[in-house]
Structure 1
Amino acid sequence: MFDGMQRRVVSMWFPRLASDRVLQIRPVDGPFALTLRQTNADRLYCLNPEAERQGLHRGMSFADARAFCPDLQSRPADPLGDERFLRVLRRWATRYCPWVGLEGNDGLVLDITGAAHLFGSEAMMLADMRQRLTRAGLNNRIGLGDTRGAAWALAHFGEGRAEIGQPYAALAELPVAALRLEEKTVIALQRLGLRTIRDLEDAARAPLARRFGPDLMMRLDQALGRQPEQITPLTERPHYGVRMTLPDPVGLFDDVMAGTSRLLDQLCTKLKAQEAGARVLRLTLRRVDQEAHTVELRLAGPLRDATRILPLFERGVGEVDAGYGIDQMRLEATQVESQPMHQVSHMPSGRADQLDDLISRIGTRIGLENVQRFLPADSHIPERSFIIAAAAFSEPGGPWASARPRPLRLFPPEPVTGTGPRPPRHFRWRRMSLSTARATGPERIAPEWWLPDENWHSGIRDYWHVETLQGRRLWLFYTPQHPGWFVQGEFA
């Protein structure tokens, strides 16, 4: 802030940010609302003006809303998309000043101290803001004051501009809810007859502080400028991209790989400074005829070691048609994960790194999703005791533990001849005549009644480990409720 200059703050509020964003893409005539699943029910999340005129409001159940307004059109809400859109607006707002932060999930706060004269005056700056936002189809309300609290109050409850040095005059008649208080505090103050900021300012401070705590007086003092409140600008996310323009076009494989090596060194230096590792890399090679070829590399784990990454580009670069030559190269990490520094041990241990490199090499040929591993699952049902997950996006699970041994091979139950609760002495399985040499069991497994599974509707199963005279070691089970014998697995 400049010495001797009064601080000035702008608050931008977008009361229908979510619905405005969706309607920009697909306009709708008539009442419209976004719905969000909350407390086991679909509720209205954001509405357009037509829906509000029908008596609908946020938090209303979707079923009730349709009963009140049969013509209501709806779509599911996307809070993450709304957050990304608000960050785009934050970047746009830096055209007015460099200090721009987020205000909740539907607003921005700008410290325009010393910047208004660039647009002629404060009034002209606010007019420019409103004009651009309205042209973009965004409902907006803007407040300007000496403090962040005053600007927020004017944007939400009395859109306008407070004169320099006179926040109280602009806020006095606004409701106490304009002080950014909790709803229960607002209701309690109204019951005491304190409905406006003027009423609160004229009341005795000590009894209010004892009853409501220090936050009430802090919010009042922040709005009136008696207590400072910082505006923390949202820092730009680091950009992990490097570019190289070549003085002469190249087309040989070795030359392209040498350029890729130089770009990797620069990119890995950036990643190391941010304690991050790349999961997806994109190499763009622009030819002299302006056509571009892209080589995408997906890694099994976050990585910032150029010497380990470079060989993984060989296959993709080798398939590129250089044409009349490549004159520009660009390397970008499009997906990044945290990779904090760690203590280096004097004992070499590169097995995990070697496995990740192997998965990455195989994944570049067949796709990382197709390199899979088995992981243990918390279930005593044989078919549910494991899950299959992509090795690149999961950690090895374990230890694999079971009170009873489990076969390495499982297959759907196959019926065999046999009667009685004990394993048959002689039975046929897969056109083979087998004789029981030793049987261990039974192990009774009951179905998980809370999960629908047609294969287990028959009830409990008694499992036996059966060793045959022919050398087969099978996993048989017996169903007491519907007498019968089945083979479901084979031990190694």
Structure 2
Amino acid sequence: MSGMFDGIQRRVVSLWFPRLASDRVLRQCPIEGPFALTLKQQNSNRIYCLNAAAEKQGLHQGMPYADARAFFPSLQSREAEIEKDQQFLRILCRWALRYCPWVGLEGKDGLVLDITGSAHLFGGEAPMLADMRTRLMRAGLSVQIGCANTRGAAWALAHHGEGIASSRDTLPALRALPVAALRIEDSMSITLQRLGLRSIGDLVGAARAPLTRRFGPGLLLRLDQALGAQPEEISPQTTPPHYAVRMTLPEPIGLLSDVMAGAERLLAQLCTKLKTHEVGARKLCLSLRRVDQGHQQVELRLVRPLRDPQRILPLFERGLAEIDAGFGIDQLRLEATLIDPLPVQQISHASDGGKGKLDDLISRIGTRIGLENIQRFLPADSHIPERSFIIAPAAYSEPASGWNLSNTRPILLFPSEPISGAGARPPAQFRWRRMALTTGRVTGPERIAPEWWLEDDNWRSGLRDYWRVETREGRRLWLFHTPQNPGWFVQGEFA
């Protein structure tokens, strides 16, 4: 967009990362030779992104993976992770704030920067772009950069030419670029080339009325936006809050008490930020950098969203006690890697803190054995004893008030075990688990019918009549009788 903004010519920089996905993976795990990421598209596994070595072998994006392996059998590959790629792009977006206060995302593999009034801080536009390129290449990222008065022109230069367009006239820098540089659809670009309009210069010299009738107003709108004849809205994308704090120490520390004191200061800062945005942390990661450049991490997962430093700090103690400080720790970094909404709630002097203490206890135990291994029973909508409950992780479920049953159930339930007996009432004497028992007091029966809409081999015998039997030997058992296929069974025991 050409024009003046407070007397200053607007200047826009476009950064395009043509191998963003593969560069991200190769930064973490370097691989020599051709490498490609694959993604299932159009009912087939296709190449999603590849490195320069793979491109030199004739492979290209969108190529079927089977054809690529047939063409180059030693090709190394992994599955693409688009979500992680977008997270990495957002990290680059924060990094680019070093050059200007306005940075936004440009599609799935690019950034756009409004450097108006900030280029002189780096000695001009050319030194600024050179610094960008050097730092990105040093980080292992391939990048193409374009700079112009408009967003469209900067995008065109980054994707099809690279370079810096003059602030006085944008057209000379765009004239030789292909029409695809105008951010139009591939089908429209192919049709224009068939008509002999292969470059932006050809399009500028063509009659506008026939082009509008043939392609609609969108083509000329993109052309005018690139040349600055039509304004194009440029607004920064809202950057999500980054919940991380860091502390660099003037002298290395190694004692557990000192590390806990540092963690306490970081927690206070982080929880203040969490409270401002009305969220709570579910997962925290404390990174410790040693003077020998070694890194260690302590991860803490919480049962419920939390932002109270006094409750979180003791949960870190066990993990920090196992840290090897080496020759000393000189930097601490605390990040909330998983957050959940936690709006401000009205509390009173009569509020019960018992639930919070239980959550803290589950978090403490979970740091040792894993939160998934701490489970609770929850009621299920079924009158069948075996199906009247479900088992769920305590960290990801809320306790229920209780089972809505008219009759009591045994505290211990197990698969039915047959015993000898005849008739519709519990036998006076029977043997169970090698014990001779004598019936004392009985209560019942409670008839339970099978759920006909569910398949269950254990209930194919039909109805069951349940009895509560108290034996003279002190056992309190839950027996049932099957009238349709006569037999007696024990299925549970009361406390």
Match of 1:466 in 2: 466
TM-score when normalising by structure 2: 0.70
CA RMSD after TM alignment: 5.4
Match of 2:362 in 1: 359
Q: CA deviation at 1:246?
A: 11
* CA 172–242 in structure 1, closer or farther in 2 if over 3 Å, else same: closer
The alignment status of 1:241 with 2:237, answered yes or no, reads no
Structure 1 gaps of 5+ residues are: 449-455
Letter of the 1:359 counterpart:
I
Match of 2:343 in 1: 341
Structure 2 gaps of 5+ residues are: none
Match of 1:452 in 2: none
SS in 2 for 1:373: strand
Q: Distance in 2 between matches of 1:145 and 1:250?
A: 52
Q: CA deviation at 1:151?
A: 1.0
Retained in 1: the 8 A contact 2:477–2:492?
no
Match of 2:209 in 1: 204
SS in 1 for 2:10: coil
SS in 1 for 2:84: helix
Retained in 1: the 8 A contact 2:383–2:448?
no
Q: CA deviation at 1:146?
A: 0.9
Q: Distance in 2 between matches of 1:429 and 1:277?
A: 53
SS in 2 for 1:36: strand
Match of 2:61 in 1: 58
Match of 2:49 in 1: 46
Percent identity of paired positions between Structure 1 and Structure 2? 54
* CA 403–184 in structure 1, closer or farther in 2 if over 3 Å, else same: farther
The alignment status of 1:102 with 2:105, answered yes or no, reads yes
Q: CA deviation at 1:148?
A: 1.2
The alignment status of 1:148 with 2:151, answered yes or no, reads yes
Q: Distance in 2 between matches of 1:23 and 1:284?
A: 23
Match of 1:74 in 2: 77
Q: In structure 1, which of residues 278, 281, 292 is the aligned counterpart of residue 281 of structure 2?
A: 278
Match of 2:450 in 1: 443
Retained in 1: the 8 A contact 2:462–2:484?
yes
Letter of the 2:119 counterpart:
A
SS in 2 for 1:341: coil
* CA 397–18 in structure 1, closer or farther in 2 if over 3 Å, else same: farther
The C-alpha deviation readout for 1:211-232, integer Å capped at 9, x for no partner, is: 85x7666544432322132141
Q: In structure 1, which of residues 72, 85, 90 is the aligned counterpart of residue 88 of structure 2?
A: 85
Q: CA deviation at 1:314?
A: 10
The alignment status of 1:230 with 2:234, answered yes or no, reads yes
Retained in 1: the 8 A contact 2:285–2:337?
no
Q: Distance in 1 between matches of 2:337 and 2:210?
A: 53
- Within-5 A mapping of 1:67-466: 67-172=70-175, 174-182=177-185, 197=200, 199=203, 202-204=207-209, 219-225=222-228, 226-232=230-236, 235=239, 237-241=241-245, 266-279=269-282, 298-306=301-309, 308-309=311-312, 312=314, 332=334, 334-335=336-337, 337-344=339-346, 348-350=350-352, 352-360=355-363, 363=366, 368-375=371-378, 387-396=390-399, 409-412=412-415, 414=417, 429-431=432-434, 438=445, 440-444=447-451, 462=462, 464-466=464-466
Match of 1:20 in 2: 23
Retained in 2: the 8 A contact 1:33–1:75?
yes
The C-alpha deviation readout for 1:163-184, integer Å capped at 9, x for no partner, is: 2242344335544443334556
Q: Distance in 2 between matches of 1:63 and 1:256?
A: 53
Q: Distance in 1 between matches of 2:320 and 2:267?
A: 17
Q: CA deviation at 1:37?
A: 4.4
Retained in 2: the 8 A contact 1:295–1:316?
no
Aligned length: 472
Retained in 1: the 8 A contact 2:271–2:309?
yes
* CA 137–320 in structure 1, closer or farther in 2 if over 3 Å, else same: closer
* CA 34–330 in structure 1, closer or farther in 2 if over 3 Å, else same: closer
